[in-house]
Structure formats: structure tokens, C-alpha cells
Amino acid sequence: MAQLAGCLWKLNLVKVIVVDVTDDYTLMQPPMPSDFYPVLQEIWLPRYGLASRLPKADLVAGYLYDWHETPLKDDGSWYVGVVNETLLLPPEAHG
């Protein structure tokens, strides 16, 4: 009888850590290392074609995609930086 070696879900899914990078824009600061940002959400997504799907994905309500960082190792997590969508409002709306 055939047996599967290992957990196949680990080959098909990847952990995505969504971080809030809004302060980079509001404070006009250069980017920090990915793990320094506040985490908004951790989710598991299908690995196949993830890089092309992320810019269009609505990962956290009220936030817009900014950038993503692939893991150094195959079993590592992806980081996705998102920005609060209120930054698109005119300055008088923030007051």
C-alpha cells in the first residue's frame, strides 16, 4: 500500500504575516526590517502564484497592499506590508 511521506499541506500552503507599515508614510521614515512592524493578521494561503495574487488581495479590511517579502527558506513565512487606506483621503478629512 502506498503511503504519503510528510504533510502535504505544508507544501501547498504558506504562512503570510500581514504587517502595518502606515507609519513609514505618516512619519516619512525609511522602511524597517519586516518583523519590527505591528502584525495585523497571520493567515495561510496557497503557495502557487502567491506573488502575483498578493497585490490584488484584500487581506485586511481598511488596508491596501504596499509590498511583500518572500521567505529566505521554503518553510519560512511571507511578509506583506499594508497601509491604512485613510491615507488616500484629503488632509482636511484626517482632522
pLDDT in the model for residue 2: 60
Dihedral, 54, 59, 63, 67 alpha carbons, nearest 10: -30
> What cell was used for 29?
521614515
pLDDT in the model for residue 87: 86
Q: Where are the domains of the chain?
A: 12-83
Looking up cell 502567491, which residue turns up?
Answer: 50
pLDDT in the model for residue 75: 80
pLDDT in the model for residue 1: 66
Taking only the tens place, the pLDDT of each residue in 46-81 is: 999 999 999 999 999 999 999 999 998 878 899 999
Dihedral, 53, 20, 25, 46 alpha carbons, nearest 10: -10
DSSP state of 88: G
pLDDT in the model for residue 66: 95
Half-sphere exposure of 50 (CA within 13 A, CB side): 21
pLDDT at 10 > cutoff 90: no
Q: Span 1-19, mean pLDDT? A: 80
> Do residues 51 and 71 lie in contact, with contact meaning Cβ atoms separated by under 8 Å?
no
Residue type at 18? V
pTM for the complete prediction? 0.85
